[in-house]
A and B are shown apart, each in its own frame.
Chain A
Amino acid sequence: MSAATPLALPAGGRDRGSPGTTLRLAVVVAAAAGAMTVGGLIAAYLGMRATTGTWPPRGVEFDNYTATTLAITMVMSSVTVEWTSYSIRRELRAQALASLGLTLGLGLAYLNGLWYLVDRFNFQPAQHAYATIAYAMGVLSIVNGLVGLGALVLAGFRLVGHQLSAANLDIMRATALYWHFVTLAWIAVYYVLYITK
């Protein structure tokens, strides 16, 4: 046997990762990481609440109306983004465009409302521990929303350019998965900050 000659094994075909599977799995893993980030902040919030006498501090005002509206908005947008996926799968182009437009509109409304909510906090980030953690949660929710909205815009461009179809749905599925994560993340933050306080 020649020492330098490598063995050639029988050809086994290409490795099997399809772009769709890869993208969806990547989004699921990224969403898991995002959930841990939100979970870390919520854990810090609960930890501080458990060891602090007055929580939340006196004088903190809650805009429950806006926060609840945002939660409802996000649940609605999760429905419309699934409607988009369904429409593309059924080749219903008009419905797909309409539902994606609705999702984008709801997403923009969410971001606008969230910005308003954080901007209207009646405390500064450094005022007390509650303020710090509340700002951290608010900013993280905005970042999550921005990433999700960016993905929706990209999917929208592809839809307008006839690049999404029943056979090529993966980008839309991945985007929808991420958008659901944004919704769940906000509901978790909303529950902690506004329901249980």
Chain B
Amino acid sequence: MTVTEAPPERAAPATPPPAPVPAGGWLTTGDHKRLGILFVTGGLAAAVAACILAALFQLPAFGDGVDVWTSRDSRLASANVTAALVIGLPALWLGLATYVVPLQIGATRLALPRLHGLAVWAFAVGGATTAVAFALNRPGGLNVGAPLPPSPGRSAGQAATELLVGGLTMVTLATLLVAVSLLVTILTRRAQGMTLGRMPVFAWSALATCAALVLAAPVFLSGLAIVYLDRHYGGEFFAGGSGGALRIWQRHLWLLGRPEAFLLVAPALGALSDVVATHTRRPLAGFPLARAAAVAVALMSLLAWAADTRALRSVVPPTATAPTAAVGLAGGVVVLAWLASLRRGRPRPHPALLFAAGFVLLLGAAAVAATLAAAVGVEGNDAVEFRNAQVTIVLFGAPLLAVAGALHHWSPKLWGRDLPARLGALQFLLLFGGAAAAALPGYLSGLGAGSALVPVGIAGNALIALGLAPFAAGPLLARHGGGASDERHEGLTLEWATPSPPPPHNFDSLPEVRSAHPLLDPRSSEVAPTP
């Protein structure tokens, strides 16, 4: 056999250990890797806090049977929804996108690093302000999960309400700035040859999510501005007795809230698509179709905004209408692509695949539950409990599993080494079991089986918090993980073309991209015999 094509060059055998971070380094950094880790850490803290709040919320003494979507009276319910869906999960996805997407597109840095750094800290300050607002007093009726406009006039919780408006404004503004930064980075800083058509699914889903956020977040900001004027000056925009106020608040809130509900799922589809492709050791089956479907989920999420507000009390939040069904259909296409890849590829056991399976199972269970509810006809207070359970599964449990899978998948990049596989399996059991247990009482209560299982729900939330906690010790745990795993992963995308963790400049030599799977070509040419 004659070898006519030289194998790819080898990189320098080892990269020197990174220099210690100077004291102010993390505060003033514009490095997307550090900013991503900051975001992820903050998001994990908020998600754990949300679990604790949910456990407290389920204690009968605190708020039995309170509807998280419509109650304006429960501080715990409002704090729980805000911590989980407005701060925690968005921060986790923004963090992962901030860390991974520039690597995937072959960028050496963010396009707007200072703006991005500012946004990370604004997000942190906004989140802290929101927490203080809830700790201080009951914010007067302003509930981001509520379809009702904030209660009128000045109240006992005036300071808390104004703090909450300020905190939410900062968080939303920071989310918007990060979306602008990522959008510009993806459009202007791709490596040579990395056309939009060659970008990985996660980068595409990040692009579409950011575009949707740029359109949706400012409208919520304008709604918050009206709320502030109302609350601070004792106005009556939302209290003039006009039915229009209710609709206006719903539309303003929904233009962020409805897409964001789906935007928690869209990056999950993108990230898990990359997970499946990497660990089945083959390009994703139906790659263009799967990529288009993942993008469609993000873009069609804006259509969900057009759903009739009367559908608010549907048992499948956000709404059970044709646009949301279309979103679900696109998500189904992506899942089919995963299944086809698993069948055709050579799957390698990895915790990230477990989390992907759990994500699909939870969403499938929610769909079955919704069908059951529709058949049985869940109504009244039972519907409240049922809807809360659906929120727990669809908007919190499933996206959290996807985040955990993504963190395990990219742990060599984030922390230098793979996290231990046994820990991954344990975390999967805790998160999957926790999400199922947290939602079980609501489902049973909704189907008329009573609410005797409330302790199970509380335990479920505790399990989720326990499952997330190990990520906080990621750098420590990674020391006990596998070896440097770039080769073991046999990744197809550019983030695996640089050492783990990546150097400050990301790539020692910028790769030349000739296909959607740039790392597959050199590896194939290395082993392919020539005639």
Contact = CB atoms under 8 A, between A and B. Distances in A.
Interface of A: 1-18, 21-22, 25-26, 29-30, 32-41, 43-44, 47-48, 50-52, 124-129, 131-133, 135-136, 139-140
Contact of B108 (A3, A14, A26): A14
A124 B112 CA distance: 40
A12 B188 contact: no
B374 interface: no
A7 B490 CA distance: 10
Nearest to B519: A7
Contact of B9 (A8, A22, A131, A133): A8
8 contacts: A8-B9, A15-B191, A16-B191, A17-B188, A36-B214, A36-B217, A40-B222, A136-B225
Contacts of B185: 17
Contact of B509 (A11, A26, A32, A37): A11
Interface in B210-230: 214-223, 225-226, 229-230
Contacts, number: 206
A22 B498 CA distance: 25
Interface in B180-230: 180, 183-185, 187-193, 214-223, 225-226, 229-230
Given A17-B111, A129-B236, 13 more contacts: A6-B499, A8-B10, A10-B9, A13-B192, A36-B214, A39-B219, A40-B218, A40-B223, A40-B255, A41-B225, A44-B226, A132-B229, A140-B222
B242 A48 contact: yes
B229 A15 contact: no
Contacts of A131: 235
Given A30-B180, A40-B219, A126-B234, A8 B509 contact: yes
Given A8-B508, A131-B235, A3 B483 contact: yes
Contacts of B243: 51
B523 A7 contact: yes
B386 interface: no
Contacts of B216: 36
B504 interface: no
Given A13-B510, A16-B190, A34-B218, A47 B247 contact: yes
A12 B198 CA distance: 15
B226 to A, nearest CB: 6
Contacts of A50: 244
Given A9-B497, A50-B244, A44 B222 contact: yes
A16 B222 CA distance: 36
B11 interface: yes
Given A12-B193, A47-B244, A136-B226, A21 B188 contact: yes
B510 A15 contact: yes
Nearest to A26: B184
A132 B215 CA distance: 23
A16 to B, nearest CB: 6
A37 B218 CA distance: 5
Contacts of A36: 214-219
Contacts of B9: 8, 10
A33 B108 contact: no
3 smallest CB-CB distances across A and B, nearest first, come from A51-B244, A40-B222, A12-B512
A4 B12 CA distance: 11
A4 B484 contact: yes
Contact of A126 (B176, B188, B236, B251): B236
A6 B11 contact: yes
Nearest to A18: B188
B158 to A, nearest CB: 13
A16 B499 CA distance: 22
Interface in B444-486: 483-484, 486
A50 B184 CA distance: 38
B192 A16 contact: yes
Interface of B: 8-11, 13, 105-108, 111-112, 115, 176, 180, 183-185, 187-193, 214-223, 225-226, 229-230, 233-237, 240, 242-245, 247-248, 251-252, 255, 483-484, 486-488, 497-499, 508-513, 518-519, 522-523
A181 B433 CA distance: 51
Contacts of B225: 41, 136, 139-140
B318 to A, nearest CB: 19
A127 B189 CA distance: 50
Contacts of A136: 222, 225-226, 229
B103 to A, nearest CB: 12
A2, A33, A37, A51, most chain B CB atoms within 10 A? A33
A87 B214 CA distance: 33
A43 B253 CA distance: 13
A7 B237 contact: no
A136 B222 CA distance: 8
Nearest to A135: B229
Nearest to B190: A15
Contacts of A33: 176, 180, 214-215, 217-218
Contacts of A37: 218-219, 221-222
A26 B115 CA distance: 11
Contacts of A52: 240, 242, 244
Given A5-B10, A17-B189, A44 B223 contact: yes
Contact of A6 (B233, B237, B498): B498
Nearest to B494: A9
B117 to A, nearest CB: 15
B32 to A, nearest CB: 13
A131 to B, nearest CB: 7
Nearest to B527: A1
